[in-house]
């Protein structure tokens, strides 16, 4: 993600959590967090516990999300300079030593670096991943027909993540949708539904067709993934396995020599090392493919 993408992402998050935007610029944004966002981002478990138990009105934090630290610092120090000039006569102790003195008044806002890879952004990713996992949505009909009930086709959409792991890793996303009436499977499902107008509330005068069982649908999707993975080049796994074999031989040669040469009383200890070395090398190299999901949901789409 580049700066603009991160910016957009964070704004969308703040909006969906109903945070109050106080100041907005290309390089930063100041937001008064909503209680929900505060719980998710500020790690103040004790505070929120206290609020819950005492019923005290919550005071949420104000955060400054900085997307471009360099330009932000520049403008900040420029502003400070101006402030300093405008109040140059005031001679405070701190001012004398530092050339600045803290201003009173404004509510303190905590600065958060929001670059790709920063811990706060990771935290946002994490809570979003938790809170944006299962949905149930309906496509909004163009015009509400009064006479006839509109029939929906129900789809189970799943964003699979497939990870190819040995001592290194590569991953793919497979966004699949299966029609719960016909069993038809569509790829790039997520993209296709982004274009649609969707709502969480079932519109009036609509109905959903009968469906095939969820278990069946999911196993069809899994089958689809297996078919896709099967045809991929498995060279990486073959090579990883080859490396693993070589490592095992090396370790076995080394340690069996060592065990043979060792005094009886030391043998046990060496054997433990031996076993651990073999185990860790397996963990490191053994090739495997893992399939999990980013999120999934039911999508009732117009036919």
Partner 1 sequence: MNSKDQTKQTYSLNEHLQIHFDQSWITDIKKRFESNGPWDDWNLYQLAYESGNSRLITDFDELQSLYQLSNIEPMPHQISTAKKVLTEMRGRAILADEVGLGKTIEAGLILKEYMIRQLVKKVLILVPASLVLQWVRELNQKFNIPAVAQKKAYMWDQYDIIVASVDTAKRNPHRDIVLDKEYDMLIVDEAHKLKNKKTTNYQFINSIRKKYCLLLTATPIQNDLKELYNLITILKPGQLGNDSQFKSNYVVDKRIPKNESQLREELTSVMIRNRRSDGQLDLTKRNVRNIPLKLSEEEYDLYTSVTDFVRKRTEENNGAMGFLFSLITLQREVCSSRDAVFVTLVNLFKKTTEDSPIREMIWALVDKIKKINSHTKAKSSLELVQQINDKVIIFTEYRATQEYLLNFLKEHQIVSVPYRGGMNRGKKDWMMDLFRKRAQVMVATEAGGEGINLQFCNHVINYDLPWNPMRVEQRIGRVHRLGQKNDVHIYNLFTKGTIEEHILHLLHEKINLFETVVGGLDLILERLEKNSSIEKNLYKIILESQNEREIHNKFNELGDSFSRVQTEVYGEKEFNQIEPEASP
Q: What's the CA gap between 239 and 46, in Å, rounded?
A: 51
Range in contact with partner 1 (rule: CB under 8 A) among 27-35, 51-59, 85-93, 249-257 = 249-257
Q: Is 115 in the site for partner 1 (CB under 8 A)?
A: yes
- Rounded least distance, CB 264 to partner 1, Å: 19
Decide whether 147 or 193 has the Cβ nearer to partner 1. 193
Q: Is 45 in the site for partner 1 (CB under 8 A)?
A: no
Decide whether 85 or 148 has the Cβ nearer to partner 1. 85
Cα of first residue to Cα of last residue in the chain, in angstroms, is 35
Decide whether 56 or 135 has the Cβ nearer to partner 1. 135
Decide whether 56 or 110 has the Cβ nearer to partner 1. 110
Decide whether 104 or 119 has the Cβ nearer to partner 1. 119
Where in 65-104 is the site for partner 1 (CB under 8 A)?
69, 98-99
> What is the Cα 145 distance to its own chain's centre?
40
- Rounded least distance, CB 3 to partner 1, Å: 9
Q: 135, 149, 151, 216: which one contacts partner 1 (CB under 8 A)?
A: 135
- Nearby residues of 67 by Cβ (< 8 Å), 6 or more positions away: 3, 6, 7, 10, 26, 27, 28, 29, 114, 115
- Rounded least distance, CB 242 to partner 1, Å: 10
Site string for partner 1, 190-229 (x = CB under 8 A): x---x---x-x-------------x---x---x--xx--x
Q: Is 13 in the site for partner 1 (CB under 8 A)?
A: yes
Where in 254-273 is the site for partner 1 (CB under 8 A)?
254-255, 257-258, 273
Collapsed DSSP state (helix, strand, coil) of residue 20: strand
Query: CB count, 10 Å around CB of 193?
Result: 19
Q: Is 16 in the site for partner 1 (CB under 8 A)?
A: yes
- Rounded least distance, CB 102 to partner 1, Å: 14
Site string for partner 1, 153-172 (x = CB under 8 A): ------x-x--xx-xxxxxx
- Rounded least distance, CB 149 to partner 1, Å: 19
Contact 286, 136 (CB under 8 A): no
Q: How many residues bind partner 1 (CB under 8 A)?
A: 84
Q: Is 285 in the site for partner 1 (CB under 8 A)?
A: yes
Range in contact with partner 1 (rule: CB under 8 A) among 24-32, 56-64, 84-92, 112-120 = 112-120
């Amino acid at each position: 993600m580049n700066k603009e993408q991160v910016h957009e992402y964070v704004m969308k998050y703040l909006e969906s959590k109903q945070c109050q935007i106080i100041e907005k610029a290309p390089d930063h944004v100041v937001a008064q967090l909503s209680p929900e966002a505060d719980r998710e981002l500020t790690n103040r478990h004790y505070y929120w516990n206290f609020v819950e138990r005492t019923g005290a009105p919550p005071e949420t934090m104000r955060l400054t999300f900085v997307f471009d630290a360099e330009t932000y610092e520049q403008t900040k120090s420029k502003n400070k300079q101006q402030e300093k000039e405008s109040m140059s006569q005031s001679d405070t102790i701190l001012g004398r030593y530092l050339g600045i003195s803290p201003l009173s008044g404004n509510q303190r806002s905590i600065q958060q670096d929001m670059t790709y890879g920063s811990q706060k952004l990771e935290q946002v990713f994490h809570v979003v991943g938790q809170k944006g996992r299962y949905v149930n949505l309906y496509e909004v009909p163009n015009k509400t027909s009064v006479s006839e009930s509109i029939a929906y086709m129900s789809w189970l959409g799943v964003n699979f993540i497939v990870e190819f792991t040995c001592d290194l890793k590569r991953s793919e996303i497979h966004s699949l949708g299966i029609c719960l009436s016909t069993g038809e499977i569509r790829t790039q499902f997520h993209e296709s539904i982004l274009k649609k107008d969707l709502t969480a509330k079932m519109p009036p005068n609509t109905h959903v067709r009968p469906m095939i069982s969820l278990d069946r649908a999911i196993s069809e999707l899994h089958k689809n993934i297996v078919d896709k993975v099967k045809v991929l080049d498995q060279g990486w796994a073959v090579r990883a396995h080859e490396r693993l074999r070589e490592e095992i031989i090396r370790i076995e040669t080394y340690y069996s020599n060592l065990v043979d040469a060792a005094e009886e009383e030391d043998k046990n200890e060496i054997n433990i090392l031996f076993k651990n070395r073999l185990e860790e090398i397996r963990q490191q190299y053994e090739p495997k493919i893992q399939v999990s999901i980013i999120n999934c949901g039911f999508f009732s789409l117009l036919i």
